[in-house]
Structure 1
Amino acid sequence: MIRYTLKCPKGHGFESWFQSGEAFEGLRRAGHLSCPDCGATEVDKALMAPQVAHGTARAADLAQREAALAELRRRVEENSEYVGMNFVTEARAMHAGDAPERAIYGEARPEEAIALLEEGVPVAPLPFLPTRKTN
């Protein structure tokens, strides 16, 4: 895994993890990366200083991050309704007042999420893939 500091054309900076440098390039070329602030898909690597950690410190840091991510997932799943592929429709309906406001999470293609942001619908990406629920 490799962590890159990224930036969009509007100057927003953020970080993300990738399987490899090639994986980053493939996702960038395909337009599957987007700025969490403005949704721009023209994302490039920013200059960053290398981070060197000893094995024990790195393992502890990774364990701490994994625990924080697991806790975030638990809270989202406990306090939100999973709406799956209906996320875009539900988010728009709540924003328009046609559905009751509630915490939801689900799935959307990047271009759909960008459209929601452009429409003023407050959404944010989750740093994990939802567990698909059936029935």
Structure 2
Amino acid sequence: MIVFDLICRDGSHQFEGWFGSSDDYEKQLAAGLIDCPSCGSSAIEKAVMAPNVGVKGNQRTSLPPASSSNRENIEPAQSGVPMTDQSLATTVSIPAEYQELIGKLAKAQTKMLEQSKWVGSDFPEQARAIHYGEKDATPIHGTASADDVTELQDEGIDIMPLPLPVTPPKAQN
């Protein structure tokens, strides 16, 4: 299975799509079988996304430096075998400039989130309370559904998605 972040060109709604392979995605898109769950539009395209690879708690959390030997010996991952950060490094060729860019983006996001409070699924309510002056203005981050995001934007509440996935504090090792 492969998961793509998809976006509807008509309403800019973002959502996930699960497919058997990249080829399955292309075939379904060409046949008009992929629709936006928010507005029903079939004008769909892949959104920019960062890789989301789960790592077991007892393994390293950083990728080893890219080497030319990694790039020369790329083998596709076997179906059904979970990928670790080590297998990712040997199965996916990520150009050095992209690794550097993602690393800088991750550092910037980490620095930004140090000043922000995780509020989880309570994000829409907390954002409203801050916007309407019921709570002191303080940076927060959390989760919100596509409908919540639309409602917050309709109310004039400034929010933005984080560029990289965030692991909730209670889910971290």
For the aligned pair, the TM-score class normalised by the smaller chain equals: 0.5 to 0.7
Q: Which stretches in structure 2 are left out of the alignment for 5+ residues?
A: 13-18, 47-70, 73-92
Larger Rg: 2
Higher RCO structure (Cα 8 Å, ≥6 apart): 1
Relative to structure 1, the CA distance from residue 114 to residue 128 in structure 2 (aligned partners, 3 Å threshold; closer, same or farther) is same
RMSD of aligned C-alpha atoms? 3.9
Give the 3 Å change call, closer, same or farther, for CA 30–41 of structure 1 in structure 2.
Answer: closer
The count of aligned residue pairs is 111
Secondary structure of 1:29's partner? Answer: coil
Q: Which residue in the other structure is 2:10 paired with?
A: 9
1:9-31 alpha-carbon deviations (Å, 9 max, x no partner): 37x8xxxxxx97456979x6353
Give the match's secondary structure for 2:118: strand
Q: Which residue of 1 aligns with 2:147?
A: 111
Once the 2 structures are TM-superposed, how far is the Cα of residue 41 of structure 1 from its aligned partner? Answer: 8.5
Question: CA distance change for structure 1 residues 65 and 90 in 2, over 3 Å: closer, same or farther?
Answer: same
Q: CA deviation at 1:76?
A: 2.5
> Is 1:90 matched up with 2:126?
yes
Deviation at 1:75, TM superposition (A): 1.5
If the length of structure 1 is used for normalisation, what is the TM-score? 0.61
Q: 1:109 to 1:81 in 2, by over 3 A?
A: same
Rounded to whole Å, the distance in 1 between the matches of 2:163 and 2:35 is 21
- Structure-1 residue corresponding to 2:37: 31
Measure how far apart 1:68 and its partner are. 2.2
- The share of aligned pairs that are identical, in percent, is 22
Shift of 1:103: 0.8
* Runs of 4 or more consecutive aligned structure 1 residues displaced over 2 Å after TM superposition: 6-10, 19-26, 28-32, 40-46, 55-58
Change in 2 beyond 3 A, CA 1:104/1:130: same
